[in-house]
A and B are shown apart, each in its own frame.
Chain A
């Protein structure tokens, strides 16, 4: 059984254009289905407005989906009561992109990491303190810096604080939403190494949402490509990157700058007349599906 199984998930936003104008509907997530196995590093890629972040937030019900099912360990979390959902979130955590805006600037780093333990009423004061020290150590932060404020840390260190906070409750699934996108490349490499290491040590499962295709190719075992609210292609990273089948995936991959100055440039422009937006995903090779 997959740890996470998303079925026909839909999120429509109603747009109000003014008092006298008709409303329109944005299909941010438009009938999306996919599963993530226990222990997997699953990549979700797409450009701005593709719906990838909305999808991540819908899975945690930070945004209420319009329709569909989100099965976590076989149970549909969309039917959970508020209290049950709160408890379920212990198992499903998120790390956001911007370590500058996602940490409360008035809280000390140690308190930021401790807060989830307080909210979920775990342990007494001294147990929580010990756990925070352990978490600082786990993500490579100096436990002596618990009393510092976020602005006293560098961008990479702040992202480590966000990761420590996400791990405080021992989650099974971590949604990393552009978690390393804002970081310089050398810092990014360190944080990515940390995530890979944590996945192995804690048997974590990751939904890694990113726009950086080179990074996703590098670290994810499977990947789904989103375009205008739909998954247009999904499969093993190797197969998808070497034999992209959907015209959008092909255009997207061909747009990534090649690191070899002598490599031939084969830009493929997306011609939306070459594919059917409503085509369902179908298997084109074992474990590799495309909406063509």
Chain B
């Protein structure tokens, strides 16, 4: 079976006054159906730019200079914009770090979920409303019917991120890209959201591209890991191999900097 997503030789540059910066430099990786790929790296390593490039959401001066992004057998980089809109949200959806800025502050959360269904012609208005409540229920928001009428500011950070996940799930996309989905959350809330993502992923046989700087989140969630540094993928492999016996010097240094990493297993 071919991979669900096959990124080959992807390069992105940003042109500025001081010359052109290669934000993503000849990056190649694949994601299999049902697989979670953890894309890990520090600020500015190019993780988020990679995700934006895959969805063709880069804003100028960012520009894809080379590469292929083959998803479900088609190269997204040569797709007409109308078809690309169908891919975004319907086939690949995106979860951001900060749900307060990603959600519309003056729209009830139920309407925002329903909108995703209506825009993508999946449901009519009445059906969309009903599905929105089902989705809120699926992301374990209590009193879903009542909460659907709330505005984002009425919800806690963890609940807002659940709403984002509900929107991402609305169209049953086979691939979800989650960019630091739990970074802004407290650790107990993070644990609940990670559990939720893991359960939903298994239930719907989703593939997940999980962008994070946190090796703890990687260890809990990822099947395979790709390590990014200054726009390049310096190492990729199964999660155990990367965490236990990293080959690249950068990965070794990064792991050594994680508090508690070298000490081995806790009792």
- Contacts A257-B214, A259-B219 given; does A48 touch B265 at CB 8 Å: no
Residue numbers in B under 8 Å from A215 (CB-CB)? 259
Q: Kindly identify which residue among B186, B257, B265 contacts A188, using a CB–CB cutoff of 8 Å.
A: B257
Asked if A89 lies at the interface with its beta carbon under 8 angstroms from chain B, I say no
- Expressed in whole angstroms, the minimum distance between the Cβ of A186 and any Cβ of chain B is 4
Min CB gap B11→A, angstroms = 23
* Chain A residues, Cβ within 8 Å of B220: 257-258, 261, 265
| Cα distance A265–B239 in the bound complex, in angstroms | 16
Minimum Cβ distance to chain A for residue B142 (Å): 14
Smallest distance from the beta carbon of B159 to chain A beta carbons, Å? 14
Question: Interface residue tally of chain B, by bracket?
Answer: 20 to 34
- 15 A-B Cβ contacts within 8 A? A155-B43, A184-B43, A185-B213, A185-B254, A192-B259, A252-B187, A257-B190, A257-B191, A257-B214, A259-B215, A260-B243, A261-B220, A261-B239, A261-B240, A263-B265
A256 touches B240 (CB 8 A): no
Known contacts A257-B217, A261-B240, A219 near B186 by CB under 8 Å:
no
Provide the bound-state CA to CA distance between A144 and B216, in Å.
Answer: 39
Bound-complex Cα distance A288 to B191 (A): 27
Q: Count residues of chain A with CB under 8 A from any CB of chain B.
A: 34
Q: How far in angstroms is the closest Cβ of chain A from B141?
A: 16
Q: Smallest CB–CB gap between A72 and chain B, Å?
A: 29
Contact with B along A183-195 (1 / 0, CB 8 A): 0111111001000
Tell which of A16-24, A33-41, A206-214 binds the partner: A206-214
Q: Which residues of B contact A270 (CB under 8 A)?
A: 188
B81 within 8 A of A: no
Contact A258 B216 (CB under 8 A): yes
Shortest beta-carbon distance, A120 to chain B, in Å?
35
A185 with B265: in contact, given A213-B187, A258-B216, A259-B219 (CB under 8 Å)?
Answer: no
